[in-house]
A and B are shown apart, each in its own frame.
Chain A
Amino acid sequence: MELKFYIESGIIESFVLGLATEEEVEELQHMRRLYPELDTEVEFVERRLERAAFDEPAMPPVEIRERVLQKIRWEEGHGHSDPSSNYTFINIQPKDGNHILVHRWWKIFFIIFFIMSKVFLFLAIFYYLKYRMSQEQQRSDNLHQMIRQEQTQSPLL
């Protein structure tokens, strides 16, 4: 009798529509454990609501189905390859023979190559200037030495 009163209170309908509070949901789940026949009643209510909704379905536009299914196909394509998948692969590569397709590692290689070439260029200029300076220094040292030698020889003359 108490269970009948509980069912007739509309608690199941409230749960099914998502209007029951957390406490009410907990209570209902507790009652379902105590009285398994409540499960049948929940199923009755859900089936009634399902029948009511199915009585007047309104199909969403076709593109909505496509969007939903596209997601499934995309997941499949990234999870495991399915030969039955009806994906259409569109090749957007120009066919004029002027373009080539390379691996993405080439991009990193070219960046490193570019940086290294700049470093070597800098070092080359640096050592060239250093070499030039040392040559100048040596030439001026030689010149000084020659002048000094001339100066030491001239008093004797």
Chain B
Amino acid sequence: MLIERLVIGDSAAKELLYDRYAGALYNITLQLVPVKERANEVVVKVFHWSFLHIGTFRTSGHRTLFTWLLRKTREFAIKEALPETALTGTELMKQEEGILQQFYLILPADQQQVFRLSYFKGLSITTIARLLALPEAQINEILKEAMKSFRQFLKKTWN
């Protein structure tokens, strides 16, 4: 099995991991970091990290390698992301094509705003509440509603 081979440091398994997941992860990375050079850096960092920390997969609570890698991809992407004012517009080609962007676009305005700040920007509930001048409990509720919508979105489209 791939995980066992990765744990023992099998280099062919590492190549297989890259070949299997790089495309899907890169697609999501481009939705988070629409600048290609930075998205490239994120992918390199994620795979280097995964080779070193594959032993933590079993205790991560994830059942698939993809979502384990996706979680780390988002963490690195948030660190690599440029402020929106620094974007020129030409880099945003991938933004409306990805699954997360598709989901984002079907949300009501309040959920869109909270989901964007939470998922794409990596802001905490407290920070979002302060930014939007709303109580934390309300932000929590909005995010929960967004997650319910995400569940329905996934079930409807990829069940």
Please report A residues at the B interface, Cβ cutoff 8 Å.
Answer: 8-19, 21, 25, 28-29, 32, 39, 42-43, 45-61, 64-65, 67-69, 71-73, 75-76, 79, 82
Q: List 7 A-B contacts (CB under 8 A).
A: A11-B147, A16-B71, A29-B61, A50-B24, A55-B158, A57-B26, A60-B40
Q: Which residues of B contact A52 (CB under 8 A)?
A: 99, 154, 157-158
A53 contacts B24, CB within 8 Å? yes
**A39 to chain B: closest residue by CB:** B63
The complex places the Cα of A23 from the Cα of B107 at a distance, in Å, of 26
* Interface pair A56/B147, CB less than 8 Å apart: no
B63 touches A13 (CB 8 A): no
Given contacts A10-B151, A39-B63, contact A19 B118 (CB under 8 A): yes
B47 and A68 contact, CB distance less than 8 A: yes
Flag if A42 contacts B63 (CB, 8 Å).
yes
Q: A16-B67, A49-B70, A76-B11 are in contact. Are A68 and B26 (CB under 8 A)?
A: no
Please determine whether B158 and A43 come into contact, CB atoms closer than 8 angstroms: no
Bound-state CA distance A45–B64 (Å) is 10
Q: From known contacts A9-B148, A14-B147, infer whether A49 and B22 are also in contact, taking CB-CB under 8 Å.
A: no
Query: Given the known A-B contacts A10-B148, A72-B51, are A49 and B23 also in contact in the complex, defined by CB atoms under 8 Å?
Result: no
Are A58 and B148 interface neighbours, CB within 8 A?
no
Range for the number of chain B residues in contact with chain A: 35 or more
Q: Using a CB-CB cutoff of 8 Å, which residues 18-36 of chain B contact chain A? A: 18-19, 22-28, 30
Smallest CB-CB separation from B41: which chain A residue? A64
Contact, CB under 8 Å: A72 / B11: yes
Chain B binding site: helix, strand, loop or mixed by DSSP?
helix
Q: Does B125 contact A (CB under 8 A)?
A: yes
Q: How many A-B residue pairs have CB under 8 A?
A: 137
Cα A136 to Cα B39 with chains together (Å): 84
Q: From A13, A76, A79, name the one whose CB has the most chain B CB atoms within 10 angstroms.
A: A13
Closest chain B CB from A28 CB (angstroms):
7
B5 CB-CB contact with A under 8 Å: no
Nearest CB on A from B11, distance (A): 5
Residues of B within 8 A of A45 (CB): 151, 154
* B147 CB contacts on chain A under 8 angstroms: 9-11, 13-14, 17, 19
A58 near B63: Cβ-Cβ < 8 Å:
no
A17 to chain B, nearest CB (A): 6
Q: Are A8 and B148 in contact (CB under 8 A)?
A: yes
Q: Are B22 and A19 in contact (CB under 8 A)?
A: no
A48-B158 CB under 8 A given contacts A60-B40, A69-B18, A72-B51: yes
Q: A25-B61, A64-B40 are in contact. Are A56 and B98 (CB under 8 A)?
A: yes
